[in-house]
């Protein structure tokens, strides 16, 4: 267990912004850590300008998160890539890059298109003994259209609703209004 004196020493060396993050995320820290962070901030006599700058940065982080998870979806060529080249060994590097960039919508979409591409491929392979190879290939290629439409209608809407629940509709609207001002 960390003592109050140890925390005071550690927090005294932290930048003001980090202390504000601790207070902002008080449920992620112990009660002692939050109270020591409050004390340290009070001793620094933080100006309103510093608080405003911190809040502006937090709003920018939120907007970047929303942008990466809603408006930055896969391009049509990327959707085609994952649908037609669904083999995990080939698509893994792309998905890892998306994860590292924090683009969770892209990761989910990549998995979605890979799975549907695989399912349609297996379905057409199963049906190909009854159908001509050309018709089976057309069925697999044509399967991209319903996959695309379902993604646009359900997957994106699900992400938008999740973010609205996470941050509250009013919070995201207020942050947009504050930036406009």
pLDDT at 166: 67
Report whether pLDDT(139) > 70. Answer: yes
pTM greater than 0.85: no
User: If we measure between CA atoms, which residue out of 21, 90, 17, 18 comes closest to residue 49?
Assistant: 17
Residue with tokens 């996470």: 166
Q: Which CA distances in Å does 57 have to 25, 65, 89, 131, 147? A: 15, 12, 38, 59, 38
Report whether pLDDT(122) > 70. Answer: yes
CA 45 to chain centre: 35
Average pLDDT estimate for 123-152: 85
Within 47-87, residue ranges assigned H as helices are 48-66, 76-84
What sign has the CA pseudo-torsion 81, 83, 87, 93?
Answer: positive
Q: Could you tell me what percent of the chain has a pLDDT over 70? A: 87
Q: What is the pLDDT of residues 143-170, one digit of tens each?
A: 999 999 988 888 777 777 776 676 665 4
> 171: pLDDT confidence band, cut at 50, 70 and 90?
very low
Q: What is the mean pLDDT of the chain?
A: 82
Q: What is the pLDDT of residues 66-117, one digit of tens each?
A: 777 666 788 899 999 999 998 888 999 999 999 888 787 888 889 999 999 9
- 116 burial (CB, 10 Å; 0-12 / 13-18 / 19+) is buried
């Amino acid at each position: 267990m960390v003592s109050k004196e140890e925390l005071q020493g550690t927090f005294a060396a932290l930048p003001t912004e980090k202390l504000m993050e601790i207070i902002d995320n008080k449920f992620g820290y112990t009660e002692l850590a939050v109270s020591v962070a409050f004390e340290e901030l009070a001793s620094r006599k933080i100006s309103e300008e510093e608080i405003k700058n911190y809040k502006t940065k937090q709003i920018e982080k939120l907007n970047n998160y929303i942008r990466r998870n809603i408006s930055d979806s896969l391009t049509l060529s990327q959707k085609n890539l994952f649908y037609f080249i669904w083999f995990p060994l080939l698509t893994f590097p792309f998905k890892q890059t998306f994860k590292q960039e924090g683009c969770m919508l892209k990761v989910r979409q990549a998995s979605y298109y890979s799975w549907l591409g695989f399912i349609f491929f297996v379905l057409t392979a199963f049906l190909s003994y009854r159908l001509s190879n050309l018709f089976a290939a057309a069925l697999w290629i044509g399967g991209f259209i319903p996959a695309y439409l379902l993604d646009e209608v359900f997957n994106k809407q699900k992400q938008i609703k999740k973010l609205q629940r996470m941050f509250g509709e009013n919070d995201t609207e207020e942050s947009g209004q504050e930036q406009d001002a």
